[in-house]
Structure 1
Amino acid sequence: MSSDDDIFSRLSPRTRTLAGLVLAMSNFMVVLDLTIANVSVPHIAGNLGISPDQGTWIITSYAVAEAICVPLTGWLAQRFGVVKMFTFAMVGFGIFSLLCGMSMTLGMIVACRIGQGICGGPIMPMSQTLLMRIFPPEARPRAMGLWAMTTLLGPAMGPIIGGYISDNWSWHWIFFINLPIAVMCVFAAQALLRPVETDTAKVPIDKMGLFLLVFWIGCLQVMLDIGRDHDWFADPMIVILGVLAVIGFFAFIIWELTEEHPVVDLRVFRHIGFTSGVFSLALCFGAYFSGIVIIPQWLQMTQGYTATWAGILTAFTAMAALMTAPVAARFVGKVDPRLMISGAVFWLGLMTLWRAHWTSGIDFWTMAAPQFIQGFAMPFFMIPLTTLTLGSVLPSETASAAGLQNFVRTMAIAIATSLVLTGWSDSQRVSRNELASVLQPADAQAQLGGLGFSTEQIRQTISNIVEQEAIVTAVDHIFFISALILFGAAIIVWLAPRPTGPVDTSAAH
């Protein structure tokens, strides 16, 4: 492989800057697609004639496919070259985005979202790898700062762009807007990045490990997604899927621990710092993402909000995070990362507990306050967590650890989405029954009758009020559980020893 100096001399400063912007844009597009569909689920569900519960497959299918493909990034880059793989992934992402926008059935859009996730998964880590490759060491912090800004900006802009497009154009365009960006990135990569292509080698692929990974995750996710429609374990199919997921999971662990070239290097879990950090990451992202999934659906279903305004409210967190990200980055290396993470996660828990007291009569700015304030803590959790986890493994394991960290985070989002929607649905049913059992409708019926309401109108009005209150009670219940999980994660971080010495975070993605 060529020396670093030789690589840098192949690109002019202008070419390097343009290439950096293209790589940052490609990362932004992939991260954007993780949240852009969230506020559009009610629109898509209504248009395709499916329930909002089924519509969440559009979120989870993308996340799961991305999670499965991330561990393969290193092998694909070594086998075909990082620039070539980046270009292929962008082409595939553009094609599947087009097909998502053209989808007319739930089956087609879920299949195309899986294709999007498979192609999008490697783009994040490969864009980061290429940024590290084209910029000299002294310019890398600025380049990674630009990359990190797009990672934070994506989740902020996703709900706003998705909401605006769904309200004013059509939900199909949330996928079509990827096309011009994908085309630009493909041509720019070919024009600017070909001189920095990596050497290739015929590296063995762990086919059985990959099969077991897809098998157990597939069984688990299908079980979680259709379980609530099939009365869970009362349905033999759900029982079979659950048993297959457990068997596949244990077979995967045994195989990966004994395989010479594992698709996922599970051996890094022997480091307590890495294990506790990743476990905290999974709990935090799962609990944090529960709000991103529930809030837009609740606001649009019962509170009368448009997708645009639901998106703006959801995005307040990421807007605040953008403001404190540079401050958090300065503290890394000077303050114990465990203290930063624990404090930030405890802060997120307090904000989630605040949201657990929302009512159906709440106004926009009262909801926006905890959304915005919790955002200040996000960088103080995300940035030092990378330092903690990657500082706990051997230098030779950094790439594997970073890939595994991203895999766990993405899987936590997919699994949490399914669990949260199931819990929300169950809690609505329980709350509805409890409200109905203590309701004293005589007074309300007399008052509504006095206003000229018919018997049928009175019954429907009372039913609507009970439904609205049951839904908001269920929302509060989910936030309360999420807050408890966050408080637990703030404690788990302290199981990790404090990292010593400098940490190479360039492999993190």
Structure 2
Amino acid sequence: MNAKPAAAPVPHPFTWRLALGLIGVLIAALTSGLNDRVTDIALADIRAAIGISYDQGSWIISAYQAAEVAAMMIAPWFAVTFSLRRFTLAVSAGFMLTGILLPMMPTPAMFIGLRVLQGIFGGALPPMLMTVALRFLPPPLKLYGLSGYALTATFGPNMAASLAAFWTDDVSWMFVFWQVVPLMLIAMALISWGLPQDPLRTERFRQIDLFGMLTGCSAISLLILALTQGERLDWLASPLIVGLLLAALPLFVVFLINEWFHPLPLFKLQMLQRHNLTHGLLALAGVLIVSLSGSALPSAYFAQVEGFRTLQFAPLALTVGLPQLLIAPLVAALLNIRWIDCRWMLAIGLGFLITSCLAGMQITTDWGRQNFWLIQILQAFGQPMVILPILMSSTSVVAPPEGPFASAMFNTVRGFSSIAASTLVSWFVSHREQFHSSILINNAASHAWLMTAPDSSQANSSHPLLPDGSISSAENLSGFSTLVKHQALVLSLSDTWLLLIGFAVFLLLATAIVPKRVWPPQTLIQPVTPTSR
């Protein structure tokens, strides 16, 4: 059966009322991202409060993330079917209610089950932000709407450390989940008042891509479970991880084949023939990997070398997060200038991120918080200068009726890539740390004096002394072990910054070759053709 032509969305004049509705969707999407990251950071306190082990607790994060990304795949389809306003209000209410109930769950199984349900509601919110921005914003404001979407990738994750520390240290672990209530109430009020009400389109159920939903959501969920549990279960040495991968990969291939031929798919794969869209999806995945250089790596150093708690690291994270509120709109304003090529803006942003990584490679065990300020400032400017040009370039080739397809693909790639990036970096740091530890210990073994206890003349009052006045051998070996561990971690972090530079350089080369020149929406006076560069 041939698909009917997609009906063009009903145009709505942009008013202050509609603007407030868009702000409501932005608040809801940011709250969803904060909830995910804050829960991840506060996991140790949550496990202690509900009385579950480390292994059980890891499923709290894994199950939520699997449900979250699966929901990103299907949310735009249901939003078009039930209307943006109805669907966004429904998932916002569900997200808030599950947040209220989570701390009250009496058993770990019920807690994880409700967390999966919250992941479905939470994952449906970021796609709504992109869909609304692409549909309702007039050309002069389109880039500012996309800058709001970019905030969900840059602002929220960097604000999470401060919020997690505040709730767990000063209030109660329950507010890790209850923090969503006031924000979602505000968001729902603005959405209800500001977004226009479209009619129901239940006739779309006659062409529902049910097979694609089942295979796609199952495949992406199983892949995420394998990625998030792989390091803990020793990857391919675990029958569970092997089973997850063997089930996920064929399902994903079947899903892609189905999407190519289905008359009303979740992903319109034919759109990938447009160079700018394909480049945007790949570049977004790469940027999510490179951006970990300003969050995951410094936090790993402070947690393991300096022994910092989350609250002590939070000021550095805020250095990246808070300026986004000003930098993202500023970058959008610059991109609205016709003579500024967004590819050059993207290249400059990558230059900032590469410089940040080069600075990080100089890390030593003597570094303190002051050594990271330059790295964080470069990240604060570089991240929006990369993400916004990617969004501008890729969405320029998307027609308004295709907005839901683009939203589904972008958000699924973004959700999956952020998890894959974190897994890749964690795995690389861990294995390089083991490599450097082995080298350092082997070198120390060839210098026996490093492993012997000092005599009494070398002892100081901070070490426990034996009756003969010397430091105990066990104490000396313990100090040596700590020194080796810290040095190995520092060397592995330096290696990881070098790896991320490689990703950034690859993105730089791809940007110079793949995408075509595009112009700001409000000044577009000619279509983009394959020869216009």
TM-score, structure 1 length as denominator?
0.85
Indicate the residue corresponding to 1:181 in structure 2. Answer: 183
Q: CA deviation at 1:388?
A: 1.0
1:358 Cα deviation after fit: 1.6
1:233: which partner in 2? 236
1:350 aligned to 2:320?
A: no
Q: What is the deviation of 1:351? A: 0.8
CA distance in 1, matches of 2:133, 2:276: 28
8 Å contact kept, 2:289–2:421: yes
Shift of 1:135: 7.6
Is 1:433 matched up with 2:438? yes
Distance of aligned partners of 1:276 and 1:23 in 2 relative to their CA distance in 1, 3 Å threshold: closer
Q: Which of 419, 422, 429 is residue 424 of structure 1 equivalent to?
A: 429
Amino acid at match of 1:442: W
SS at match of 1:200: coil
- Is residue 2:286 matched to residue 1:289? no
Matches within 5 A, 1:55-134: 58-59=60-61, 61-102=63-104, 110-127=112-129
Q: Per-residue displacement from partner, 1:88-139 (whole Å, max 9, x unpaired)?
A: 1111111222344446877655544432231122323435655788888777
Return the offset for 1:271: 1.4
Structure 1 residue 465 and structure 2 residue 468: aligned? no
Shift of the alpha carbon at 1:279? Answer: 0.7
Amino acid at match of 2:200: T
Which residue is 2:420 aligned to?
415
- Name stretches of at least 5 consecutive residues in structure 2 with no aligned partner: 1-7, 466-470, 524-533
> Which residue does 1:404 correspond to in 2?
409
Partner AA of 1:484 in structure 2: G
Matched residue of 1:36: which SS? helix
- AA of the residue aligned to 1:318: G
| 3-state DSSP of counterpart to 1:498 | coil
User: 1:405 deviation in Å?
Assistant: 1.6
Contact 2:365 2:486 in 1 (8 A): yes
Asked if 1:242 corresponds to 2:245, the answer is yes
Q: For 2:58 and 2:221, locate their aligned partners in 1 and report how far apart those are by CA, in whole Å.
A: 16
- Gap change, CA 1:252 and 1:2, over 3 Å in 2: closer
SS for the counterpart of 2:415 is helix
1:40-73, CA deviations, whole angstroms, 9 ceiling, x for partnerless residues? 345446665645x986655554444332212322
Larger mean CA deviation between 212-221 and 27-36 belongs to: 27-36
Whether the aligned pair in 2 keeps the contact of 1:319 and 1:372 (CA below 8 Å) is: no
Q: What CA deviation, in whole Å up to 9, does each residue of 1:239-295 have, x standing for no partner?
A: 332222221221111111111111222221111221122111101112313653343
Of residues 311, 314, 320, the one that matches 2:314 is 311
- Please list, as runs of the form range in 1=range in 2, the aligned pairs for 1:2-401 lying within 5 A after superposition: 4=11, 19=21, 21-44=23-46, 50-51=53-54, 58-59=60-61, 61-102=63-104, 110-127=112-129, 152-187=154-189, 189-190=191-192, 192-193=193-194, 196-202=196-202, 203=204, 204-289=207-292, 291-332=294-335, 333-393=338-398, 396-401=401-406
User: Relative to structure 1, is the Cα distance of residues 128 and 177 closer, same or farther in structure 2, using a 3 angstrom cutoff?
Assistant: same
Amino acid of the structure 1 residue aligned with 2:509: I
Q: Over residues 180-217 of structure 1, what are the superposed CA-to-partner deviations in whole Å (9 max), with x where a residue is unaligned?
A: 32234445544x248x2111112132111111112221
Whether contact under 8 Å (1:390, 1:402) holds in the other structure is no
Relative to 1, partners in 2 of residues 1:259 and 1:337: Cα closer, same or farther, differing over 3 Å? same
Offset, 1:141: 7.1
Distance change in 2, residues 1:497/1:206 (3 Å):
same
Question: Any gaps of 5 or more consecutive residues in structure 1?
Answer: none
Counterpart code for 1:492: A
Aligned partners of 1:64 and 1:410 also within 8 Å: no
Q: Deviations over 1:418-454 (max 9, x none)?
A: 2222222222222222222112463464337634232
Q: 1:130 to 1:77 in 2, by over 3 A?
A: same
Q: CA deviation at 1:223?
A: 1.9
Q: Distance in 2 between matches of 1:143 and 1:229?
A: 39
Q: For 2:493, give the aligned amino acid.
A: V
In 1, the alpha carbon distance for the partners of 2:455 and 2:224 equals 46
Verify the 8 A CA contact 2:146 2:391 in the aligned structure 1: no
The Cα shift of 1:175 comes to 1.5
TM-score with structure 2 setting the length: 0.82
User: What secondary structure, in the 3-state scheme, does the structure 1 residue paired with 2:173 have?
Assistant: coil
Offset of residue 156 of structure 1: 3.5
Distance 2:23 2:279 in 1: 35
Counterpart of 2:75, as a letter, is T
| Among candidates 458, 462, 476, match of residue 494 of structure 2 | 476
Which residue number in structure 1 is paired with residue 3 of structure 2? none
Instruction: Pick closer, same or farther for the CA change 1:61–1:295 going to 2, 3 Å.
Output: farther
Q: How many residues align?
A: 497
* Secondary structure of the corresponding residue to residue 446 of structure 1: coil
Instruction: Please report how far the alpha carbon of residue 374 of structure 1 lies from its aligned counterpart in structure 2 after TM superposition.
Output: 2.2
